Amino acid sequence: MQFIETQISGVKIIVPRLFLDDRGYFYESFRGDIMDINEISSSFIQDNQVGSKNKVIRGLHYQLKYPQAKLVSVSVGKVLDVAVDIRRGSPTFGDHISIILSDENHKMLFIPEGFAHGYSVLSDTAIFQYKCTNIYHKEDQYGIRWDDHELKIDWQNSNPILSQKDLNLPYLKNIKVNHLPIYEF
């Protein structure tokens, strides 16, 4: 596995080593020992899988009391995956990483705690997986509007399909300071 640092500390792109032959391919999508060596939490306790159709945007979501680090990947299709640093006091507060994850490039993205996460489906359909270091807590769900102009995210999606919940999320500047995680270095 290759681990690529991004411009935001802690967010890493992971490129697995692909073994190809005339039958297809094989790669390790997770190895706890290798993740630990590369300063990625291997204490994942929940795996999720989501199927979505073209033009769907989900997010930007986060949990505050039960924060989640995530390891995200796509097994079918293509998505634009986005992680926004929302840690109060972080030197990269409000900055984001966006990356194409697909069944062709097999890349994964590690997102540490303290980030809002979302994605846009660019293919006809997509199956998206993510490992989490904490379980989902409905009462601890927070989020930021996908189209927050100050974040300047290019979702590569001109006519998105969103849930009513995501359409009603606040802009980052309107979120109470105690509803944002604290940067710990």
pTM for this predicted structure? 0.93
pLDDT in tens, 49-101: 999 999 999 999 999 999 999 999 999 999 999 999 999 999 999 999 999 99
Residue 130 has pLDDT above 90, yes or no: yes
Average pLDDT in the 116-130 region?
A: 97
61 is catalytic: yes
pLDDT of 154 reads: 97
Q: If you ran DSSP here, which 8-state letter would residue 183 be given?
A: P
Which is catalytic among the residues 61, 96, 106, 117?
A: 61
Catalytic residue (choose from 62, 117, 119, 130): 130
Confidence of residue 122 (pLDDT cuts 50, 70, 90): very high
Domains in the chain: ranges and CATH: 2-173 (2.60.120.10)
Torsion angle of alpha carbons 26, 20, 70, 36, nearest 10°? 80
Mean pLDDT of 133-147: 96
7-59 confidence digits (pLDDT tens) = 999 999 999 998 889 998 888 888 888 888 877 877 899 999 999 999 999 99
Instruction: Pick the closest to residue 36 from 68, 63, 1, 66 (CA basis).
Output: 1
